[in-house]
Amino acid sequence: MYARERQRRILEQLESVGRVAVTDLAADFEVTTETVRRDLDQLAGERRLVRVHGGAVPRATTETEPDLEVRRVTNVEAKRRIARAAAALLPEDPRAAVMLDAGSTVGELVPHLSGRRGPVITHAPAIAQAALVHTDLEVHLLPGRVRPTTQAAVGAATVDAIRALHPALAVLGGNGIHAAGFTTPDPDEAAVKAAMVAAAERRILLVDSAKAGVRHLVTFATTAEVDTLVTDDGLPAGIAEQLEEAGVEVVRA
């Protein structure tokens, strides 16, 4: 069995049982414990798991979710490169409807919407306000309870409003990228993101590589539900390979 195949199976076991042991893996794969430790060290170096005594656990975060003001000044240059690359993926028809998620990386895309004519739909008041600067845009702000951390509308009213819409493209942010999909800490935010994913014809995720290998509480989109990930050149090769094998186009800015 090749190393990448072993590593894929290690990640699958982590996904299902939450912890793996070196000795158990060595027996399962019929290899030495040193070989398994090298596999785990490589996956840990790619930020796809966390090494613990005798094995490994999933890379999950318990950190407090940073608010929008903090995220606006974090990895700014990478986020701008991501937004420039994403601008090339906007619908060719300038009248096509585009739905924008909340978030600092998606916010960097707004200046690139200049010259479009179609509706821009968002649940983030800050993004709606920024979009109004581009006078040709028809801006629609979704209803709901504004969550202070992300300054975005969430809740049943937001989700119901999205379900009635059919945009050509949804552009979303995310807090974590892992082998099975894209995650965020808050269930209400996840419900809105999932509704956007379900409503749109195409789905593009704008996520910087600092979030690679991180798994938060809620998966809002599986790899099967995402068309393109736009990220920076720091994305670990192993994660990129798994995403591409699952059918996700990976664009590095």
Cα–Cα dist 175/212, whole Å: 9
Beta-carbon contacts of 237 under 8 Å, excluding residues fewer than 6 positions away, are 46
Cα–Cα dist 75/27, whole Å: 42
- Is the per-residue pLDDT at 68 higher than 70? no
Does residue 228 belong to any structural domain of this protein? yes
Does residue 63 belong to any structural domain of this protein? no
Residue 62 pLDDT? 45
Does residue 106 belong to any structural domain of this protein? yes
The answer on 54 and 172 residing in a single domain is: no
Does residue 143 belong to any structural domain of this protein? yes
pLDDT in tens, 83-115: 999 999 999 999 999 999 998 999 999 999 998
Three-point CA angle 85, 87, 92, nearest 5° = 130
Residue 22, helix vs strand vs coil: helix
pTM: 0.76
The answer on 173 and 51 residing in a single domain is: no
The answer on 166 and 51 residing in a single domain is: no
Q: What is the CATH number of the domain that holds 199?
A: 3.40.50.1360
The answer on 226 and 111 residing in a single domain is: yes
The answer on 147 and 39 residing in a single domain is: no
The answer on 219 and 196 residing in a single domain is: yes
Residue 55 pLDDT? 87
Cα–Cα dist 25/216, whole Å: 25
Q: Which of 61-70, 218-227, 231-240 has the highest mean pLDDT?
A: 218-227
Number of independent structural domains in the chain? 2
**Last residue in a domain, options 35, 58, 81:** 58
pLDDT in tens, 191-212: 999 999 999 999 999 999 888 8
Domain extent at residue 13: 3-58
What is the signed CA dihedral for 42, 46, 50, 52, rounded to 10 degrees?
20
The answer on 121 and 38 residing in a single domain is: no
Q: Of 65-74, 148-157, 223-232, give the lowest mean pLDDT range.
A: 65-74
Residue 154 pLDDT? 97
Whose structure tokens read 């749109």? 200
